[in-house]
A = this chain, B = another copy of it.
Amino acid sequence: MPDRLDGRRIPEATVARLPLYYRALNETAERDIETVSSEQLADLAGVNAAKVRKDLSYLGSYGTRGVGYAVEFLLAVISRELGLTQDWPVVIVGIGNLGQALANYGGFGARGFQVSALVDADPAKHGEKVGGLAVDPIESLADLVAMRGIRIGVIATPAAAAQDVTDQLVDAGISSILNFAPAIVSVPEGVSLRKVDLATELQILSYYQAERKSRRRVGKFTPDVQLQATTAKTS
The verdict on A133 contacting chain B, using a C-beta distance below 8 Å, is no
Q: Are A202 and B105 neighbours in the complex by a CB distance under 8 Å? A: no
Once A45-B184, A230-B228 are accepted as A-B contacts, the answer to whether A175 and B212 lie under 8 Å apart by CB is yes
Which residues of chain B come closer than 8 Å to A12, judged between CB atoms? Answer: 223, 226-227, 229
The verdict on A225 contacting chain B, using a C-beta distance below 8 Å, is yes
What is the count of identical protomers in the complex? 2
B-facing mask of A193-235, CB < 8 A → 1, else 0?
Answer: 0111111111111111111110100101011111111111111
Please provide the chain A residues from 110 to 135 with a CB less than 8 Å away from any CB of chain B in the complex: 110-113
Contact of A218 among B7, B98, B211 (CB under 8 A): B7
Q: Are A190 and B212 neighbours in the complex by a CB distance under 8 Å? A: yes
Cα–Cα, bound, A112→B178 (Å): 25
B-facing mask of A3-21, CB < 8 A → 1, else 0?
Answer: 0001101001101101110
Q: Are B112 and A81 neighbours in the complex by a CB distance under 8 Å? A: no
Cα–Cα, bound, A40→B126 (Å): 39
Which residues of chain B come closer than 8 Å to A142, judged between CB atoms? Answer: none
Closest to A225 in B: B233
Q: Are A234 and B228 neighbours in the complex by a CB distance under 8 Å? A: no
Which residues of chain B come closer than 8 Å to A235, judged between CB atoms? Answer: 224-225
Once A22-B203, A184-B46 are accepted as A-B contacts, the answer to whether A234 and B226 lie under 8 Å apart by CB is yes
* Distance from A59 Cβ to chain B, minimum over Cβ atoms (Å): 12
The verdict on A93 contacting chain B, using a C-beta distance below 8 Å, is no
- New A-B contacts (13) at CB < 8 Å, excluding given A20-B184, A83-B213, A194-B205: A7-B218, A12-B223, A15-B204, A19-B203, A45-B184, A84-B206, A102-B198, A107-B182, A175-B212, A178-B202, A192-B208, A226-B233, A228-B230
| A→B interface (CB under 8 Å) | 6-7, 9, 12-13, 15-16, 18-20, 22-24, 44-47, 81-84, 88, 90, 97-98, 100-102, 104-105, 107-108, 110-113, 151-152, 175-178, 182, 184, 186, 189-190, 192, 194-213, 215, 218, 220, 222-235
A sample of 17 cross-chain residue pairs with beta-carbon separation below 8 angstroms, ordered by A number, consists of A6-B215, A12-B226, A15-B226, A16-B200, A16-B227, A16-B230, A18-B203, A19-B200, A23-B182, A108-B198, A113-B206, A152-B206, A208-B234, A222-B234, A224-B233, A226-B234, A228-B230
